[in-house]
Amino acid sequence: MLTKSSMLILKRSKVIFNNRFLSTSPQIKTEFANGIKEIVMCNSQARNALSIEMMENLIYHLTSDQQNKELRVIVISGEGPAFSAGHNLKELVSDQSKQQKCFQLASELMNKILDCPVPVIAKVDGIAAAAGCQLVAQCDMAIASKRSVFSTPGANFGIFCSTPGVALARSIPKTSALYMLFTGFPVSAEEAFRIGLITKVCSEEKLNEELENICNAIKAKSRDIVELGKTFYYQQIHYNVKKAYELGGEKMQENLQLPDCKEGIQSFIEKRKPRWGSK
């Protein structure tokens, strides 16, 4: 999906980011083509550690093109043998203000995935550990190659994976979540698929093909409609089922008033492809 030649390697330059200045960094490459923005963590030497720099960049790239109606899917991947090995240990052992910043950024990163108007997909081909596993579990979907492994081994060196557990508790059965958190044992991609941590598992050769199928399916839909649906999905989860249906009925009616819905239904009746207004 991402060819070396086509990669936009970000130069260290000051850009405005949430009212603070951010140095974009060589830790991340992005490609934005055909509606798909792939954000590639490429600090393979540090096993794509979610350092403060890396997280600031992920947040920046997750949000920077959200107003661009061409954007339809965001893919997060990692270069090298690790998708991501989690937080930067050096930063965690430094002063408390840096620790605080680290976890505030991690929370912000997770929130940005939840709030992103387009689906965010983790493409995993390697190790996803600790906060790296959290990142996978928090994405809307995840696909992984068979050689990938997932783990939350923080307790091995004294840092329980409490925040990764937030994501695991909401995506896999309790007995699997606590197994991963208490033992720190790695879980194979096949097992991650079995327990519902990832959407698809395939050979590494097929990874981009599988991803493309999913992306094409999303791109065939209206961006506005998908945004409405994603927003509501994460909203209704917090209500009891009857209240959720009540809100859902209102949301369906709101949906029906959108121009892209009228066009979608019309195209269905006329048996032709829809021409979405907002791409």
Contact pattern for a copy of itself over residues 84 through 103, marking x by CB under 8 A: -----x--xx--x--xx--x
For 238, half-sphere exposure in the C-beta direction (CA atoms, 13 angstrom radius) is 4
Least distance in angstroms from the C-beta of 64 to a copy of itself: 22
Q: Is 114 in the site for a copy of itself (CB under 8 A)?
A: yes
Range in contact with a copy of itself (rule: CB under 8 A) among 15-23, 35-43, 60-68, 138-146: 138-146
Q: Is 1 in the site for a copy of itself (CB under 8 A)?
A: no
Least distance in angstroms from the C-beta of 200 to a copy of itself: 8
Query: 234-273: which residues touch a copy of itself (CB under 8 A)?
Result: 234, 236-238, 240-242, 244-246, 248-253, 255-256, 258, 260-265, 267-269
Judged by CB under 8 A, the number of residues near a copy of itself is 93
Query: 201-240: which residues touch a copy of itself (CB under 8 A)?
Result: 213-214, 217-218, 220-222, 225-226, 228-230, 232-234, 236-238, 240
Question: Is residue 64 a contact partner of residue 107, using CB atoms and an 8 Å limit?
Answer: no
What three-state secondary structure class fits 78? strand
Question: Is residue 112 a contact partner of residue 230, using CB atoms and an 8 Å limit?
Answer: no
The residue assigned the tokens 């929370």 is 107
Q: Is 182 in the site for a copy of itself (CB under 8 A)?
A: yes
Pairing between β-strand 14-17 and β-strand 20-23 as defined by DSSP bridges: antiparallel
Among 161, 187, 207, 211, binds a copy of itself (CB under 8 A): 161
Strand partners, 103: none
Among 53, 56, 140, 210, binds a copy of itself (CB under 8 A): 140
Least distance in angstroms from the C-beta of 35 to a copy of itself: 14
Least distance in angstroms from the C-beta of 233 to a copy of itself: 5
Least distance in angstroms from the C-beta of 7 to a copy of itself: 26
What three-state secondary structure class fits 99? helix
Query: 117-136: which residues touch a copy of itself (CB under 8 A)?
Result: 119
Residues contacting residue 212 through CB under 8 Å, at least 6 positions apart: 1
Long-range pairs for 152-159 at CB < 8 Å and ≥24 separation? 152/180, 152/181, 152/184, 153/129, 153/184, 153/185, 153/186, 154/86, 154/130, 154/184, 155/181, 155/182, 155/184, 156/184, 157/89, 159/92, 159/130
Among 57, 50, 61, residue whose Cα is nearest residue 23: 57
